[in-house]
Structure 1
Amino acid sequence: MNEYMKETNEALLHTYNQFSIVLEHGEGVYLYDTEGKKYLDFAAGYAVSSLGYANEELNTALKAQIDKLCHTSNLYYNTVCGKAAEALKRITKMDRIFFTNSGGESVEGALKAARKYAYKKGTGRYEFIAMKESFHGRSFGAVSVTGHDAYRKPFGPLVPGVSFAEYNNLDSVKALVTDKTCAIILEPLQGEGGINLATEEFMKGIRELCDKEGILMICDEVQCGMGRTGEMFCWQGYGIKPDIMTMAKAIGSGIPVGAFAMTEEVAEYSLEPGDHGTTYGGNPLACTAVSKTVEIFEKENLTAHVKEMGAYLTEKLEALKEKCDCIKAVKGTGLMQGIQITKPLGEVTNAALKEGLLVIGAGADVLRFVPPLIIEKEHVDEMIAVLEKIL
């Protein structure tokens, strides 16, 4: 056993099924292990490392901030947090931002904001409608609205007042609405659930239902946001706007940071000083990562690049499907796509690893592709060649 793996296995709680490699450094869209082997990365740390690895502009900004200040209490203003919040306001078109440390923590804040909104409005509402096959995180609130029994069952009883509708089935959502429903939460593109993309009819129908019934709409963009679908955030492609949204992962390009955002209406009637907080949220280092990431995205027009590469990836996956009987469907959009296969996912991901390709599963039978957003056609071709060999 590699010495690094031995140290990890002896010291850490075993909560991950890890591959038997030890990664040491990265460059562009490639990662390298301690033995010097090169891997094409089509996982990006679960859709986190959108700018790839060793981005000089980002690293320079982070190094400069480390020499200045990494953390202060939120009791004091700092020179970076407001700038990062303005950057997120600009790209989300939302009004108020709260910084967290992760996606799960962002979902927790969004749920609390929805319940506080109902409380201040005096509606008596507290129930949530979530989607089957959804994934929102592993903390108690987040797992309570996650539509997978495997994630929920060992930790019950969970937060009460949650029901689950069929994704892309508006009638099933309407059937669950009561006078106690305070919010509907959904991913516009489900990740863990198997790369399931919401239809325009479903998204617009949810928005209309919420407006009609006085319910808040929460969009979870932790994985599908920050340019991954070709829109800066996935919901922006549907011509609607949620009341609350969550984000994390790629907004910090690998630095741990998340956020949830809301409209001015929700902000006015929800969280107040003392209601919610986080020790490290909005720290100068994380906010530097957010500001610089947004700056690079806008300067390099990465969303346009994602649309181009996403279309090329779809074309190549569809062609591969014609060659491989084990591929049943191509799913997703932009650079968040997958193939539904009949072969065991574990066997395929391990075979890919041996060939120098990093890919991950989604759901029970979908191979997921969420590479750095800076990939080019040559990287898609390289990935397809490996898949054709192993499938």
Structure 2
Amino acid sequence: MNKSLLSVAEPPIENQTQHLMPITQRPDVVFTKGKGHYLFDASGTAYLDMMQGWAVNTLGHSPNFLKHALLNQAEQLINPGPAFYNKPMIELSNTLCSASVFDHVFFANSGAEANEGAIKLARKWGQLNKQGAFEIITFKNSFHGRTLATMSATGKASFAPLFEPKISGFKKVPFNDPQALINAISSNTTAIMLELVQGEAGVIPAEYDFVKKLETQCKQHNLLLIVDEVQTGVGRTGKLFAYQHYGISPDILTLGKGLGGGVPISALLAKQAVSCFAPGDQGGTFNGNPLMCASALAVLEALEAENILSNVNKMSELLQTEFFELSQKYGLGQIRGQGLLLAIDTGAYDAHQIAASAFRKQLLINAPRSNCIRLMPALNIGPEEIYKAMSVLEDCLSELS
């Protein structure tokens, strides 16, 4: 018989993925296409994506402006090497500094890498300016990455027993507790590092008064203030950077996720007064890669050209209103967050069950905790997608009731 006439069944997915390290639990679906607010699996089924790669796809899947930026740059220069300047690297550094309080930028490939650089920079600054001070105060339930140093800085309880011995020199104190912070400061302290919204903890914002007191302590004790905006930066909270909501002026800032709109790039920003790396202290083969920098430039230009920050604030209000109605109807809990980084406590409902039910209904949401649902949609999301997502969520809650 002609083999071309035979129907050959595709092997089960576990046989296709057997060579991938099992570093996370993934559903038995292979996504093959993304467009706008939707992901499509191999059968063509569309999933409404309210996670967007964990706040990575700033303006949705495969936006035209990003495809054009990648193609145009690829036709000119992909990788000259990190030992040389390239035009997108220069333009992106100028754009980020002109839009912020910072003077210098180091480009990396992931948020963890940017945070690792921030830790190194703070320690070197302590060596030069504070008689070798090296300790960095971080916060319980924080998340700064999965390198050994950033896991050591992270306050996530499940990280505590992993990969011991970790890097010493991190003090973890309760979030939003100014007295605990004050008690932790010593002559060995060189910096305080925090997320202004603790995303992995369930979207817990820093209280305004706490942040202002924290900044005061930094000034009084000559400490660096490091703000990790890997998840909150690039418009996610309704301003270009979350620190702008608090009226503070950090010494160091880290960006990642949404900076590239879907491609791997991150940034470590610092004021000139604390930018003390010497040649050889920091680097990386792909840092400042023109293909990635051109993509990030295109994202920042699109945010401004399309008035995206205004949309973030409008859609945030709509989402919170819809969340409130669900909360009233099903006895859910607190709604938290800022801009389009929002969460709702699920009360008596298991958030992981809700997320699994939503997936079966082609809605992608995230449950960072067993009692919390988190949404991180594209910043150009509209009412149509929000109403559809809320309708599916209500169906899930109704079934679980």
Bin of the TM-score, shorter chain as denominator length: over 0.9
Residue in 1 that maps onto 2:306: 300
For residue 241 of structure 1, report the CA deviation from its aligned partner.
1.2
Give 1:87's match in structure 2, choosing from 79, 83, 95. Answer: 95
Residue in 2 that maps onto 1:371: 377
Give 1:385's match in structure 2, choosing from 388, 391, 397. Answer: 391
Equivalences for residues 131-142 of structure 1 within 5 A: 131-142=139-150
Comparing 43-52 with 296-305, greater Cα deviation is found at 296-305
For residue 8 of structure 1, report the CA deviation from its aligned partner.
4.9
Question: Quick check: 1:110 aligned with 2:118?
Answer: yes
1:333-370, CA deviations, whole angstroms, 9 ceiling, x for partnerless residues? 21000111132232111100111100011234211000
Taking the aligned partners of 1:14 and 1:44, their CA distance within structure 2 comes to: 21
Question: Quick check: 1:196 aligned with 2:201?
Answer: no
Taking the aligned partners of 1:117 and 1:8, their CA distance within structure 2 comes to: 49
For residue 331 of structure 1, report the CA deviation from its aligned partner.
1.2
Taking the aligned partners of 2:61 and 2:372, their CA distance within structure 1 comes to: 26
Residue in 2 that maps onto 1:280: 286
SS in 2 for 1:367: strand
Taking the aligned partners of 2:161 and 2:68, their CA distance within structure 1 comes to: 45
Equivalences for residues 186-265 of structure 1 within 5 A: 186-265=194-273
1:92-111, CA deviations, whole angstroms, 9 ceiling, x for partnerless residues? 33111000000000000000
For residue 7 of structure 1, report the CA deviation from its aligned partner.
5.5
Equivalences for residues 321-360 of structure 1 within 5 A: 321-325=327-331, 327-341=332-346, 342-360=348-366
Equivalences for residues 113-124 of structure 1 within 5 A: 113-124=121-132
Does the C-alpha gap of structure 1 residues 166 and 2 become closer, same or farther in structure 2, counting only changes over 3 Å? farther
Taking the aligned partners of 1:192 and 1:207, their CA distance within structure 2 comes to: 23
Taking the aligned partners of 1:344 and 1:69, their CA distance within structure 2 comes to: 49
For residue 64 of structure 1, report the CA deviation from its aligned partner.
1.4
Taking the aligned partners of 2:99 and 2:366, their CA distance within structure 1 comes to: 29
For residue 302 of structure 1, report the CA deviation from its aligned partner.
1.1
Give 1:166's match in structure 2, choosing from 169, 174, 197. Answer: 174
For residue 6 of structure 1, report the CA deviation from its aligned partner.
3.6
What code does the residue aligned with 1:109 have?
A: G
Taking the aligned partners of 1:216 and 1:363, their CA distance within structure 2 comes to: 31
Question: Quick check: 1:319 aligned with 2:329?
Answer: no
Does the C-alpha gap of structure 1 residues 161 and 15 become closer, same or farther in structure 2, counting only changes over 3 Å? same
Comparing 102-111 with 337-346, greater Cα deviation is found at 337-346
Output the TM-score relative to the length of structure 2. Answer: 0.94
Output the TM-score relative to the length of structure 1. Answer: 0.97
Q: Is the 8 A contact 2:236 2:339 kept in 1?
A: yes
What code does the residue aligned with 1:375 have?
A: I
For residue 69 of structure 1, report the CA deviation from its aligned partner.
1.7
CA-atom RMSD in angstroms: 1.4
**Count of residue pairs brought into register by the alignment:** 388
What code does the residue aligned with 1:181 have?
A: T
For residue 149 of structure 1, report the CA deviation from its aligned partner.
2.4
For residue 11 of structure 1, report the CA deviation from its aligned partner.
1.2
Give 1:129's match in structure 2, choosing from 137, 155, 163. Answer: 137
Q: Is the 8 A contact 1:138 1:151 kept in 2?
A: no
Taking the aligned partners of 1:336 and 1:226, their CA distance within structure 2 comes to: 12
Percent identity over the alignment is 33
Q: Is the 8 A contact 2:130 2:190 kept in 1?
A: no
What code does the residue aligned with 2:199 have?
A: G
What code does the residue aligned with 1:141 have?
A: A
Q: Is the 8 A contact 2:227 2:250 kept in 1?
A: yes
Taking the aligned partners of 2:130 and 2:219, their CA distance within structure 1 comes to: 17
When Rg is computed on C-alpha atoms for both structures, the one with the higher figure is: 2
What code does the residue aligned with 2:27 have?
A: F
Taking the aligned partners of 1:7 and 1:82, their CA distance within structure 2 comes to: 46
1:219-270, CA deviations, whole angstroms, 9 ceiling, x for partnerless residues? 0000111111101111111000111010001000111000110111111xx2
Taking the aligned partners of 2:352 and 2:43, their CA distance within structure 1 comes to: 23
Give 1:97's match in structure 2, choosing from 94, 102, 105. Answer: 105
1:192-228, CA deviations, whole angstroms, 9 ceiling, x for partnerless residues? 0110011110111111110000110100000111111
